[in-house]
Amino acid sequence: MDSRVKTFFESLQGKKVAFCGIGGSNMPLIRIFLEHGAKVQARDRRQREQLGDTAKQLEEMGAELCLGEDYLQNLDADMIFRTPGMKFFLPELDQARKEGRAVTSEIEMFFDLCPCKIYAVTGSDGKTTTTTIISKLLEASGKKVHLGGNIGKPLLPEIISVEPEDVAVVELSSFQLISMRKSPDVAVVTNVSPNHLDIHKDMTEYVDAKKNIVRHQNAFSRAVINADNAMAAGFAESVRGQVRLFSRRRASVYGAWLREDGMILVGDTEVMPASDIRLPGMHNVENYLAAISAVWGEVEPEDIRKVAREFSGVQHRMELVRELGGVKYYNDSIGTSPTRTISGTLSVYPDKIILLAGGYDKHLPFEELGVAIVEKVKLLILMGQTADKIEESVKAAPNYQPGVPEILRVSGMEEAVQAAYHAADNGDIVSLSPACASFDQYTSFEVRGYHFKQLVNALPGTQKKEE
């Protein structure tokens, strides 16, 4: 065990520690902190009956429960952990900081204690796939990889087993980055576009949060930045170490880029044809350009080529669920913003598709989505809070003609899948790519994606039902 990690856990004895939000990232930490002698408060807006067995489990472990709407009142702990989805500038947290209490998060603490090299990825779109590709490339080179962060698994619980020769590969959201005061050894910015404006005060706060991924780097760090995205490219001004620009539109001296003939290069060195990449779509070529730029010099070209040919993707990202009666059903529930749906699902398929869209309103603009839908969709099935906004954006698009695409309104996923099933013909593509978050109907995009897959797999037979 690294000496800093040992010292930290020894210091927990008798300390009062509050975990604000009982969720996936905090539950494993609560157990570990209790094991090391901390006096733990488990705070959550939900009531005991909503927590179910979790409340009983926490009390049996020795945690004090603070539940209900006033769960952030009287924050008297020495150390306060907030969940990633909690606003950083809440009055209760501001007051705790004024009182000299340490307000932190799981990922911040991991960065402070991690003894190994850290690769981290942020961006409005593509960060999960890029993070996963980087982890696959480093594994192919023989490295022991600790993969986590916003990608789903908290990393601090496994800090005891992290060795200096290992690598950590971390996905970081703006919610995590907003309070970060330490940047990774290798920082990757896939792109920056409007997102999460329901949580952030404005676009400026969102961009500033993202910029923390490079803001605290040193001269020995590497920053990998998308030269084709204006907002991301502006981050280069804040970089103190190496800048590696990647691009599919122009040559790059130090980063990966796509030549007109479809060859991927790093500087003057040919790496592989883009056609070797198993994942479909130009957005995935961009993801590989970012990943290659991040690991270049650490991973051999033959390992890069092997991963590109074999890696089939991450769940909920243009995931083929089933082919039924000549109709292919795809789960792209990760499409939680208009730009993600435009650059992903609506950019890949040559023919017009059947699109299932709509969900929680993050207060993002839909104008560009409307234009793309008119160009790429033959049947639009809408549900959720944003159904009205998306329909308005389609009808306001300059290329819109009444009835093209056809628009159906449904109450939820069950009705949406049934409508697609009865409307689809042999050769059609049906894709769930909502362009919105899930929180109006589901706890996460993963839960939404699993529900879609369950419904599609339950459709009868191998052929389309006769009408």
The predicted-structure confidence for 190-244, as pLDDT tens digits, reads as follows: 998 865 555 656 778 888 889 999 999 999 999 999 999 999 999 998 899 999 9
What CATH fold (topology level) applies to the domain 319-457?
A: Protein-Tyrosine Phosphatase; Chain A (3.90.190)
Q: What mean pLDDT comes out for the span 371-396?
A: 97
Burial of 275 from C-beta contacts in 10 A (0-12 / 13-18 / 19+)? exposed
How many Å from the N-terminal Cα to the C-terminal Cα in the chain?
Answer: 65
pLDDT at residue number 208: 87
Q: What mean pLDDT comes out for the span 451-467?
A: 77
pLDDT at residue number 26: 79
22: pLDDT confidence band, cut at 50, 70 and 90?
confident
Q: What mean pLDDT comes out for the span 322-332?
A: 94
The predicted-structure confidence for 43-76, as pLDDT tens digits, reads as follows: 999 999 988 888 999 999 999 999 999 999 999 9
* Cα gap 64→74, rounded to integer Å: 13
Peptide bond into 184 cis (omega under 30): no
Nearest-CA neighbor of 117 among 97, 90, 145, 95? Answer: 145
* Cα gap 441→451, rounded to integer Å: 11
Q: Is domain 108-310 classified as CATH 3.40.1190.10?
A: yes
85: pLDDT confidence band, cut at 50, 70 and 90?
confident
The predicted-structure confidence for 297-323, as pLDDT tens digits, reads as follows: 999 999 999 999 999 887 888 888 999
454: pLDDT confidence band, cut at 50, 70 and 90?
very high
**R_g of the chain, CA atoms, integer Å:** 23
pLDDT at residue number 24: 64
* Cα gap 30→34, rounded to integer Å: 6
Burial of 212 from C-beta contacts in 10 A (0-12 / 13-18 / 19+)? buried
Among the ranges given (5-9, 10-14, 18-22, 150-154), the one the predictor scored with the smallest mean pLDDT: 150-154
Task: Assess contact for 225 and 232: CB atoms under 8 A.
Answer: yes
Tell me the CA distances in angstroms from 134 to 167, 239, 286, one per residue in order. 11, 21, 13
271: pLDDT confidence band, cut at 50, 70 and 90?
very high
* Cα gap 389→207, rounded to integer Å: 25
Number of H helices, E strands in the chain: 18, 20
Taking the alpha carbons of 71, 204, 384, 123 in that order, is the dihedral positive or negative?
negative
Q: Is domain 15-104 classified as CATH 3.30.70.20?
A: no
Is the per-residue pLDDT at 461 higher than 80? no
Is the per-residue pLDDT at 464 higher than 60? no
Domain residues of the chain, as ranges? Answer: 15-104, 108-310, 319-457
Burial of 347 from C-beta contacts in 10 A (0-12 / 13-18 / 19+)? middle
Nearest-CA neighbor of 150 among 168, 170, 169, 129? Answer: 170
338: pLDDT confidence band, cut at 50, 70 and 90?
very high
- The DSSP output letter for 465 is P
- Helices 413-423 and 445-457: crossing angle in degrees, nearest 10, is 40
Q: What mean pLDDT comes out for the span 245-269?
A: 96
Q: Facing residues of 167 across strands? A: 117, 145
Task: Name the token pair of 434.
Answer: 């909502």
pLDDT at residue number 465: 42
Percent of residues, the chain, with pLDDT higher than 90 = 75
Q: What mean pLDDT comes out for the span 8-30?
A: 88
- Helices 127-140 and 282-295: crossing angle in degrees, nearest 10, is 50
